[in-house]
């Protein structure tokens, strides 16, 4: 991968990761246009590293807001609800991963040693996922308010955590779009919906990075056993550079997202997702990507 390709992917990821428009769909489309394999272990690891860069931007941007929330919350209910939602995400996400790999891909699809990352090559599925999250965003617009609930309860946290789990295997189903929209549908204020969604993102990123590191390690071991030179294809260094670039782009995107959400223009992201879905489907069925 050359430096120009890395910069393009990092900027696309940094800008779209923190907007509810599915960064994965945009990055995977860009990879396909550049002749890269989105399902390859080094490419999925690069995508996770770019996610990590944007999570750094989330920490820098949201920490002052989270600190005020924690200071005003003597029982740490915000933290407890974030942990509860993340536990549900982990449990449901693991069940989905096993079902997709063992039942859908291996038994029905006939794949050997199936991995959920194989879905990342499926542009029609990505297009439909982007379309679905566009509808979710549009449905949430009518419930969006600045004067909603200022605390998350257990029922709301559970629902948001389950919705987040559904986003994990389906690239295109925007995590931020789905979780913020679910929070708005639950009656949370715009500000709290945003705070809660990105707190979940920070908590779930480390285990996802660890899983992709493990997958990359196994792929390198298999490649070495097959005669490939040690480290060939390894993308750790490009991943670190991309992480730094996506951090900067992510900060810019966060300021824009907050402005759009607070001004009551959440539905515009829904319209964009519907348009993006049409482009992805056209790219596959008409342009042959």
Q: What is the pLDDT of residues 75-121, one digit of tens each?
A: 789 999 999 999 999 999 999 999 999 998 898 888 887 888 788 78
pLDDT band at 275 (very low <50, low <70, confident <90, very high): very high
Q: What's the confidence (pLDDT) of residue 111?
A: 83
C-alpha 138 chain-centroid distance: 19
Report whether 57 contacts 19 (CB < 8 A). Answer: no
- Stated pTM of the model: 0.84
Handedness of CA 165, 191, 269, 257 (dihedral sign): negative
Other Cβ atoms less than 10 A from the Cβ of 28: the count is 24
Q: What's the confidence (pLDDT) of residue 16?
A: 87
What is the full DSSP assignment across 71-102? HH-TT-HHHHHHHHHHHHHHHHHHHHHHHIII
**56 in helix, strand or coil?**
helix
- Higher pLDDT: 126 or 229? It is 126
**Between vectors from CA 193 to CA 192 and to CA 199, what angle results, nearest 5°?**
85
* Distance separating the N- and C-terminal Cα atoms of the chain: 20
Report whether 59 contacts 41 (CB < 8 A). Answer: no
The token pair that represents 52 in the structure block: 């990590």
The pLDDT mean for the chain works out to 86
Report whether 216 contacts 42 (CB < 8 A). Answer: yes
DSSP state of 104: I
Report whether 96 contacts 90 (CB < 8 A). Answer: no
Which residue stretches of the chain are H helix? 3-17, 23-33, 41-72, 77-99, 123-141, 154-167, 175-185, 190-225, 236-262, 267-285
Average pLDDT over residues 146-162: 88
Statement: residue 145 has pLDDT above 70: no
Q: How many angstroms separate the CA atoms of 22 and 137, rounded?
A: 12
Residues 6+ apart with CB under 8 A from 281: 123, 124, 127, 128
Domain locations in the chain as residue ranges: 3-285
Beta bridge partners of 149: 188
Please count the residues of the chain: 289
């Amino acid at each position: 991968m050359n430096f120009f390709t890395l910069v393009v992917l990092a900027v696309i990821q940094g800008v779209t990761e923190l907007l509810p428009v599915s960064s994965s769909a945009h990055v995977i489309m860009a990879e396909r246009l550049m002749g890269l394999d989105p399902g390859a272990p080094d490419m999925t690891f690069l995508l996770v590293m770019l996610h990590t860069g944007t999570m750094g931007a989330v920490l820098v941007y949201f920490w002052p807001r989270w600190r005020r929330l924690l200071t005003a919350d003597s029982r740490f209910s915000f933290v407890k609800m974030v942990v509860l939602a993340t536990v549900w995400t982990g449990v449901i996400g693991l069940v989905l991963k096993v079902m997709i790999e063992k039942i859908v891909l291996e038994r029905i699809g006939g794949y050997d040693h199936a991995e959920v990352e194989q879905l990342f090559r499926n542009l029609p599925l990505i297009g439909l996922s982007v379309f679905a999250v566009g509808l979710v965003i549009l449905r949430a617009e009518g419930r969006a308010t600045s004067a909603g609930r200022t605390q998350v309860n257990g029922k709301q946290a559970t629902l948001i955590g389950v919705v987040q789990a559904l986003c994990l295997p389906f690239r295109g189903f925007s995590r931020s779009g789905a979780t913020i929209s679910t929070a708005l549908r639950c009656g949370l204020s715009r500000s709290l919906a945003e705070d809660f969604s990105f707190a979940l993102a920070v908590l779930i990123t480390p285990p996802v990075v660890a899983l992709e590191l493990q997958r990359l390690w196994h792929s390198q071991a298999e490649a070495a056993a097959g005669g490939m030179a040690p480290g060939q294809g390894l993308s750790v260094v490009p991943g670190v550079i991309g992480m730094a670039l996506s951090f900067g782009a992510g900060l810019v995107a966060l300021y824009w997202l907050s402005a759009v959400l607070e001004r009551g223009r959440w539905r515009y992201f829904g319209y964009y997702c519907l348009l993006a879905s049409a482009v992805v489907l056209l790219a596959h069925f008409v342009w042959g990507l």
